[in-house]
Structure 1
């Protein structure tokens, strides 16, 4: 991907994060193939993986993990993708992130603490 101006980078970030929220895996994969960093973060520190997990898009989560997305990269509020998926009740995504080696003790609150809060500790074993 060529060097982008700050305005172009902001547009790219907005596009990528919107795709993650909507579960538009193919567009995200095309952006990554064209050189977009898989762990690109928005102004709040969210990655496409964080937003796809929180928004309930397992296919997108799987696609991003397969491209090397960091399953433990936390946002500016110290929230992890797995804690967000637990909060939203996204059981399949939680299991995918556990399978990908997500750190259950990272972030605040951690995935373990979030699971206790929402009665979902069975998902972390």
Structure 2
């Protein structure tokens, strides 16, 4: 930001700086330029947000560019430890996000809850902004304070397109959060069949257990999510698997008075483990190895 006029009093600079906050919030680009030229400095609101925070959140791209050109700190954090990039991510403003990225902002700065800008856009389902951040190199593996990845948040809210972008960007579907839930657990809990299909297409595990020992099938069955149960069964989920309380998905469906789901589970084929398939798999593996040697 420019230096205050030599004759400007501290009180005068404060007034100019407060006006800069208002002008940035309202998107008054010409007023912002005039105030900066007169020596306005970066003031903050009661929430610790400066002019760049306000302009980014409101989507005033012209004001954002003026402030950046004037030397506003890209990564200054408000009282919630959010940067201007976080504020733009909350509303999914791709133009502002692009401008901040081009200026070299910190893509992976975390707020007080451990969320990055990628967490924010994933939670809200702004898939275009997700794509921008992933392409710019934002860390798709970053986790917040409850160990949720951006993929967990996209799956929780059923944002299928954002989940696709994250997976294509290298997000791992079997990463667990603080409760031991994978993204498939989360999608099953909130009954998002479209997201479940995407995760299954990304070869996620249907048998992972959370801290309670529940598989995604347990979760869906206990909540009476019949369509999700069907998808998981079709993907090979084991209906006979027990959680730490010794309950199967069928037990949980019955306990929660979910007769339709219980019926689905009683008809589900049981996974029987014997030594014979293992032997035949070994033979197939040996045969493949022998054929490969022949072909070399």
Please, what TM-score do these two structures have when normalized by structure 2?
0.39
Cα distance in 2 for partners of 1:40, 1:87 equals 23
Q: Which residue of 1 aligns with 2:151?
A: 112
Selected match of 1:73 from 105, 109, 115: 109
- Deviation of residue 15 (structure 1)? 2.3
Q: Which residue of 1 aligns with 2:70?
A: 34
Instruction: Confirm or deny: 8 A CA contact 1:86 1:111 kept in the other structure.
Output: yes
Instruction: Confirm or deny: 8 A CA contact 2:125 2:154 kept in the other structure.
Output: no
Q: Which residue of 2 aligns with 1:10?
A: 44
Q: What secondary structure, in the 3-state scheme, does the structure 1 residue paired with 2:74 have? A: coil
Cα distance in 2 for partners of 1:112, 1:14 equals 30
| Aligned-pair Cα RMSD in Å | 2.3
Cα distance in 1 for partners of 2:150, 2:116 equals 8
- Deviation of residue 39 (structure 1)? 1.0
- Deviation of residue 29 (structure 1)? 1.8
Query: Equivalent residues in 2 for 1:37-48 (5 A)?
Result: 37-48=73-84
Selected match of 1:50 from 80, 86, 89: 86
Selected match of 1:122 from 164, 167, 175: 164
- Deviation of residue 66 (structure 1)? 0.4
Unaligned stretches of 5+ residues in structure 2? 5-12, 19-41, 169-296
Cα distance in 2 for partners of 1:107, 1:78 equals 7
Cα distance in 1 for partners of 2:124, 2:76 equals 22
Runs of 4+ in 1 over 4 A off after TM superposition: 2-5
Q: Which residue of 2 aligns with 1:89?
A: 125
Cα distance in 2 for partners of 1:60, 1:116 equals 25
Instruction: Confirm or deny: 8 A CA contact 1:80 1:110 kept in the other structure.
Output: no
- Deviation of residue 26 (structure 1)? 1.6
Q: Rg larger in 1 or in 2?
A: 2
